[in-house]
Amino acid sequence: MNSVDARMGIVLALRKAGVIDPLVLDAMETIPREVFMSAGFEDRAWEDAALPIECGQTISQPFVVGFMSAALELSGREKVLEIGTGSGYQTAILSKLARRVYTLERYRTLLRHAQSRHEALKLTNIISKCSDGALGWPDQAPFDRIIFTCATPHRPDALLAQLAPAGILVAPVGPGGVQELLRYRLRKDGVFEEEALMDVRFVPLLPGVARDA
């Protein structure tokens, strides 16, 4: 099966699994996941599975990427912050769904690879930085949407403070192992509504910037 057929197959599987946002499905059909794989894993790019990348991290399974992207309820006008660039695949999907994507990664190696992939795909609305994701990006706040691609052990109050009014934050919350994927909405009265979406497994959010990785 060629990569185009494989992508279409994943899109059909996502639709059957409940990811029905047409913008998300179009983005996932457009972005070639194989470009974001580590050497030796290219032929497994369209498995619906999380796979290893450099620095002990993973690229999330397509269903989780699609589900989380849909949970952000993007219309194309939003300013989005991503915590954990990783391979850059989720970033690339977001770039097709939002006005501008800001993404933070603690591993310089991962960030360089992701930047090269985004440049090769001519994705020009992505701004990336090597930084501690737990701190967010205060200089660029507020954000209409925030997404974590790593697990935070508790409610991410520092990032919730960087949401714009009516903003949405989606994050895996909990200790190692299984976490809850939670969606927070900032109401007009300043109160956050919390909604549990599903159980997930993500690598943990690590503090600081990696010295050499």
| Residue 194 exposure: Cα atoms within 13 Å on the Cβ side | 12
DSSP 8-class letter at 55: G
Q: What is the CA radius of gyration of the chain?
A: 16
Written as one string, the DSSP assignment of 116-149 is HHHHHTT--SEEEEES-GGG--GGG--EEEEEES
Which residues, 6+ apart, have CB-to-CB distance to 23 below 8 Å?
Answer: 74, 76, 96, 97
Q: How far apart are CA 98 and CA 199, in angstroms?
A: 25
Q: Do 55 and 213 touch, CB atoms closer than 8 A?
A: yes
Helix (H) or strand (E) holding 69: helix 62-71
| Residue 86 exposure: Cα atoms within 13 Å on the Cβ side | 32
CA 109 to each of CA 82, 88, 102: distance values in angstroms, whole numbers, following the listed order: 17, 12, 18
Q: Annotated active-site positions, please?
A: 60
